[in-house]
Amino acid sequence: MAGAVDGDQQYDRMKMLKAFDQTEAGVKGLIDSGLTKIPKIFVRPSEELAQDQLTYTNIQVQVPVIDLSGILGANGRKKIVDQVRIASETWGFFQVVNHGIPPTVLDGMIDGIRKFNEMDVEEKRRYYTRDNTKRVRYSSNYDLFTSKTANWRDTINFSFPDQIDSEELPASCRDSTMEYSNHVKILGKTLLELLSEALELSPDHLYNMECSKGHRITCHYYPACPEPQLTLGITKHSDLGFLTILLQNQISGLQVLYQNQWVNIEPIPGGLVVNIGDLLQLVSNGRFISNKHRVIANSIGPRISVACFFNGPGGKDKTYGPIKELISEENPAKYRDVPLIEYLMGFLKTGLDDENRRIDFYKL
């Protein structure tokens, strides 16, 4: 892993990727081995690094922060719906506070993921797989063999259909994950109600479309990086589903591309980041925007984040298109209907860094 062997570069890269994957120890394993320079598979192309200088900014602007504490009162709810609408139409991102999930549950979730990643590697290897049908999947870079550059992170995924046997989850994070899952599912339903009202629809409209049917919790572990300026924690992308709720520890790294500038989304104690996904952009007929974002690598760590993705009922033969109540002669449909299974399978076949978003294939 220290460097490429002589010969064809592409062959060398594949050899290095396979060598890295076969360790089943992830990026954490590289750090534990005493590595002081990052392997070439993680180094971004020079032209990409140069472009970064043009789009990074230290401007002190922050995504909207929305306080949900007044949600049960008529006046308070109207104010919150207005804030959600403006944020969803302009940023595609906002943070929520006073959202109802106890701090002990948030802290427990972060701590559980830390414990899992810092277990003995032999224990973690029991969950290492690239089989997307597994409900519990630990790996480094789901798109390791299709992306242009590997990212500096390890990930454990939990897929939650209607029911899941908690015994399938690692003991180190089992209880905390089940508790967080129960809470975040309720918050997801609440947010879909607010988003429905922001579209001037009935509060249960998006929920009845099964936008939150099943969910996936993706937990990223970003070890401190010896050369953070050369790589990324997660490359630039937009989320493919309807809605994402993100919990993060208090180490910065998440950035959103706003007005062609990378803007830091600083962690707020007890706060959660919410962002619009591609499918919600599609069903809202482009009214809500799914914005591109990324995570930069860091010289300190570990940074830990927990993303809950509401991607719809993935196992069902279901089709989504622009909501008919949002279409008129003045505002015709901007997208054709999307067969959900075809859409999700297409995503898995491409790298996260593919500039052609899946949603773009369905533009009219």
Phi, psi (deg, nearest 5) at residue 79: -65, -45
Confidence (pTM): 0.94
The pLDDT profile of the chain, 364 residues, written as one tens digit per residue, is: 544 333 445 558 999 999 999 999 999 999 999 999 999 999 999 998 888 876 666 667 889 999 999 999 989 999 999 999 999 999 999 999 999 999 999 999 999 999 999 999 999 999 999 998 899 999 999 999 999 999 999 999 999 866 667 889 999 999 999 999 999 999 999 999 999 999 999 999 999 999 999 899 999 999 999 999 999 999 999 999 999 999 999 999 999 999 888 999 999 999 999 999 999 999 999 999 999 999 999 999 999 999 999 999 876 789 999 999 999 999 999 999 999 988 888 777 776 766 667 888 899 9
Those residues with Cβ within 8 angstroms of residue 78's Cβ, 6 or more apart along the chain or in another chain: none
Residue at 297 is within a domain = yes
In a domain, 3, yes or no: no
Question: Angle at which helices 103-117 and 174-198 pack, to 10 degrees?
Answer: 130
User: For residue 186, which amino acid is it?
Assistant: I
In a domain, 1, yes or no: no
In a domain, 2, yes or no: no
Residue 104 lies in a domain: yes
Instruction: Identify the CATH number of the domain in which residue 272 sits.
Output: 2.60.120.330
Contact (Cβ atoms closer than 8 angstroms) between residue 129 and residue 138: yes
358 within a domain of the structure (yes/no): yes
Q: Does a structural domain hold residue 267? A: yes
Given this model, what pLDDT does residue 57 score? 61
Structural domains in the chain (count): 1
Domain boundaries, position 167: 9-362
190 located within any domain: yes
